[in-house]
Every structure is written in structure tokens, then in C-alpha cells.
């Protein structure tokens, strides 16, 4: 009976050691994965900010160019009289075409 008890105790101790080692390895793997995810998340946010800044700059630049173009059209339009008849519209198109 003592031999059976020692045998069971030995088997349980070995299993406990195996599980403790397995837990330690899995914990290291978990922390490694967590660190990799944290690094990925930081790079993702940096890239997202960079892309948003580039888009913002491009939209601002295009918007500014469009406003300048519209201002020049308004300036040309205000320099000449405009009447709603075909002759005036044709003359206006000739003057305002590039």
C-alpha cells in the first residue's frame, strides 16, 4: 500500500512539474504575443496618423486651389456685364475659356 501511495505521489509530482513547466512556457509565449500586439498597435496608430495627415494636406491643398480658381472666375465674371441672351453668353464663353 505504501508503494502504491509513493507511486501515485511520484506520478502526481511529475505531472505537477510538467504542468508548471507548461504554464511557464505558455506564459512566456503569451507575454511575447502581447508585446508583439502592442508593437503592431503602435505602428498601426502611427501609420494611421501619417495617412490622415497626408489626406488632410491633400484635401486642404485641393480645396485651396479650387477656391482660388473659383475666385478668378468670379473676378472675370464681375469685370463684364452679363445678360441672359445667346450673344452675350457666347461672348462670355470666348472670354472665359482658357
Using one digit for the tens of pLDDT, what is the confidence trace for 35-81? 999 999 999 999 999 999 999 999 999 999 999 888 877 776 666 65
* Chain position carrying cell 502504491: 4
Spatial distance between the Cα atoms of 58 and 31, rounded to a whole number of angstroms: 40
pTM beyond cutoff 0.75:
no
* Chain position carrying cell 488632410: 56
Q: pLDDT tens digits, residue range 70-95?
A: 887 777 666 665 667 788 777 767 76
DSSP, res 83: -
Residues in the chain: 98
**What residues contact residue 62 under an 8 Å CB cut-off, 6+ apart?**
none
Amino acid at each position: 500500500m505504501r508503494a502504491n501511495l509513493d507511486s501515485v505521489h511520484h506520478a502526481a509530482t511529475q505531472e505537477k512539474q510538467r504542468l508548471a513547466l507548461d504554464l511557464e512556457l505558455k506564459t512566456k509565449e503569451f507575454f511575447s504575443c502581447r508585446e508583439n500586439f502592442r508593437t503592431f498597435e503602435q505602428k498601426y496608430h502611427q501609420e494611421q496618423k501619417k495617412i490622415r495627415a497626408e489626406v488632410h494636406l491633400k484635401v486642404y491643398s485641393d480645396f485651396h486651389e479650387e477656391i482660388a480658381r473659383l475666385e478668378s472666375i468670379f473676378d472675370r465674371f464681375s469685370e463684364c456685364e452679363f445678360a441672359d441672351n445667346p450673344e452675350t453668353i457666347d461672348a462670355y464663353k470666348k472670354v472665359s475659356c482658357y
